[in-house]
Structure 1
Amino acid sequence: MTPTQLRAFAAVVRLGSVKRAAAELEVSEAAVSLHIGQLRKELGDQLFTRTASGLAFTPGGLRLASRAGELLSLQERTIMEVSQAGAGRRLLRVGASSVFAEYAAPGLIELFASRAADLDVELSVHDPRRFPDLLHSRTLDVAIGPHVAAAGDESLIRKPFLNYQLTIVTGPDHPLAKVEASLGQLRDQTWLLGPSAATDVGVVPALLRRIGVPEENQQIFQSHAAALEEVKRNNGLAPAVTFAIAKDLANGTLVRVPGPSLRFDGVWATLTLASQGTPPAAEELVRFVTTPRATQAMLRGPGVSVGRFRPSIHVTLWS
């Protein structure tokens, strides 16, 4: 069983078609079929059959599908780690929710990476719903985002470390800037939102559900900062992390929408595998986020811009 064979099978599983897998891998359909045939012969399993509604996987095929991504990721990671070890370096791959990545991660990662001259940190942004799969496939070493109950999954360890608060804000000249709005009035407004609104997990989606904001009144921007810039022009409302907008509230470019029930509490947590495969650098980060220095770094507001990161920190935006 070779990486090339697994890569072909994983592409077929993901795309549901030998033809599309061949196009993605830039090989012929015959090459993909050959790799699948070799896997079938070696494993003694048909893996999948073609039906009128698509591919139907055997129990063995489903098991291989769940392992293929993990094996390929481990291969890639091993190649990278061997290369870095030869250069005397380590790599820590951190995945984060969009809110944490934008507001708290810059200061945290900069401070953490500065403590070890041989450590490279890669920060990528993901939908929190994908965290378990990304950890199990070894694509991530540690994930940070909304604290969600483990729901009986003993293969993962969640450790909450920081409480934060969301408040609803608008521009100083918006009609709701100085009046206590009803839920009906809030629902009728234009909501200017960051990418966290596109998922079902976290405080922002919970806030939108609680108020009952219809989808047609939601505009989602590529970043929360971009949404807030539009809010400052009095074009709508937005939920914002309180510590990140302290300066804007102080200088009056943003104002809180009045109302006693318009503040929402959230908790960020680290997520790692319960097995012994967690890298030492990930375990060190899990301990570090609970320290006063780390908390201060995260609460500095938006923190250090990506352009000012040390070369050993890489930021990747993944859909």
Structure 2
Amino acid sequence: MLDTRLQAFLATVQEGHLTGAARKLNLSVSALSHHISQLEQDFSAALFTRGNRGMVLTPAGESLYHYAVQIEGAWQQAYREVRARATGDQLIHLAASHTVTEFFLPEPLGLFRKARPEVRLHLRMVNSDEVASLVESGAVDLGISEGRRSHGSLSSLGLWNDELGCILSADHPLQVKPQLSLDDVVRQDLILREDGSGTRSIFEQMLEDHGVSSRDLRVTAELASIQGILGLVAHGVGIAVLSRVVTYGMREVVYRPIADVTLTRQISLLERPGPKPNQAILQLIDTMVRSATRFNQRRGSE
């Protein structure tokens, strides 16, 4: 079990205040505060400043947090590996963003299950920000996420090349145009992905690069569900900016690129640096690489 004081420290950083951290760990606030005080005494340094904004890390606290995340990740990984050896089970924990889970992972995971039926997979679908956090903390072995962001201390391997654009209902007035202008897009009622989504962050960064504030958009809905967004688009509630792959095989919606903007991204595999714990993980990574290569080749020939 991870040191209780370190657990208290990590929970306080993640929650931002003592009350939330105490609730998360099922401790009293006074017990949690005592654990934090013990750490500060051990290091002879204040780890947090306490104020109206909650618990904010000091420079010393920032340094400890960097190592605490690595310690927690190593513990989680060690626990899974030792337990697997003791029980004979082989289990790979994965986290992936919504678009990746629904449209990119089914093929390679299916191929891997056929090749290695004795290996169990456990997949969590979360937004892009959470994927990196789960890998850093050691809660999962591998993460697969889209975006252009830096992933800090994690190792990153590029897999699928993806393209974003506008999704319109098949009878939308703008569907007659082969591509839309940015002005076309910002004048429409928009259905956005939720905060923390890689798709949304890329779209908002593109707007910022072209001098458009996201506050000026006509936002009709913000959803985490891609299928929910497609349903609203198909019924004319608004338009959306999503991956091109979400329209494959659909008749109710159409895809249109946005002229003169770059909305491409690479979907990447994230993992903690260091040796792979077992051959099953290596084989799963190889299966994903092969699947991504085939996908990228097909897209390149379109």
**TM-score w.r.t. length of structure 1:** 0.72
Aligned CA distance change for structure 1 residues 149 and 78 (closer, same or farther; 3 Å): closer
Distance 1:126 1:225 in 2: 15
The structural deviation recorded for 1:257 is: 4.4
Match for 1:224: what amino acid?
Answer: I
- Structure 2 residue aligned with 1:232: 234
Report deviation, 1:227: 0.7
Check the 8 A contact 1:227/1:238 in 2, yes or no: yes
**Structure 1 residues 186-195 or 65-74, which shifts more?**
65-74
Please report how far the alpha carbon of residue 160 of structure 1 lies from its aligned counterpart in structure 2 after TM superposition. 2.0
1:159-211 Cα offsets, whole Å, 9 max, x none, are: 22322333423223222222465433321111223448845776544555577
Please give the alpha-carbon distance, in whole angstroms, between the structure 1 residues aligned to 2:257 and 2:267. 26
- Provide the residue aligned with 1:32 in structure 2: 32
- In the TM superposition, residue 51 of structure 1 has moved relative to its aligned partner by 4.6
Give the letter for the 1:270 counterpart: L
Question: Which residue number corresponds to residue 162 of structure 1?
Answer: 160
1:132-154 CA-partner distances (Å, limit 9, x unpaired): 55433323322222363769x6x
Partner of 1:177: 175
Q: Which runs of 4+ in 1 moved over 6 A?
A: none
- Structure 2's unaligned 5+ residue stretches are none
Q: Distance in 2 between matches of 1:3 and 1:66?
A: 16
Residue 216 of structure 1 is matched in structure 2 by 218
For these two proteins, the number of residue pairs brought into alignment is 291
CA deviation string 1:58-110 (max 9, x = no partner):
55443333333443444344444433333322222222232212211223223
Q: Is the 8 A contact 1:147 1:160 kept in 2?
A: no
**Residue 191 of structure 2 aligns with which residue?**
192
Tell me whether 28-37 or 125-134 shows the greater mean CA deviation.
125-134
Amino acid at match of 1:178: V
Q: Classify 1:30/1:106 alpha carbon distance in 2 versus 1 (closer, same or farther; 3 Å).
A: same
Unaligned runs of 5+ in 1: 300-319
Distance, in Å, in 2 between the alignment partners of 1:17 and 1:266 is 35
SS of corresponding position for 1:6: helix
**CA pair 160-236 structure 1, distance change in 2 beyond 3 A:** same
Tell me the secondary structure at the aligned position of residue 95 of structure 1.
strand
Aligned to 1:316: none
Q: Aligned pair in 2 of structure 1 residues 258, 67: CA closer, same or farther (>3 Å)?
A: closer
Letter in 2 for 1:82: V
Once the two structures are superposed, what CA deviation does each residue of 1:260-301 show, in whole Å capped at 9, x if it has no partner? 6589443222233343366544433332222259846xx9xx
Q: Residues 192 and 21 of structure 1: is their aligned pair in 2 closer, same or farther, counting only changes over 3 Å? A: closer
TM-aligned CA distance change 1:273 to 1:172, over 3 Å: same
Secondary structure of the corresponding residue to residue 170 of structure 2: coil
Identity %: 21
Please report how far the alpha carbon of residue 40 of structure 1 lies from its aligned counterpart in structure 2 after TM superposition: 4.2
Asked if the contact 2:18–2:33 (Cα under 8 Å) also holds between the matched residues in 1, the reply is: yes
User: Which TM-score applies when normalising by structure 2?
Assistant: 0.75
Q: CA RMSD in A?
A: 3.7
Among 240, 243, 247, the alignment partner of 1:241 is 243
Name the aligned partner's letter for residue 28 of structure 2.
Answer: S
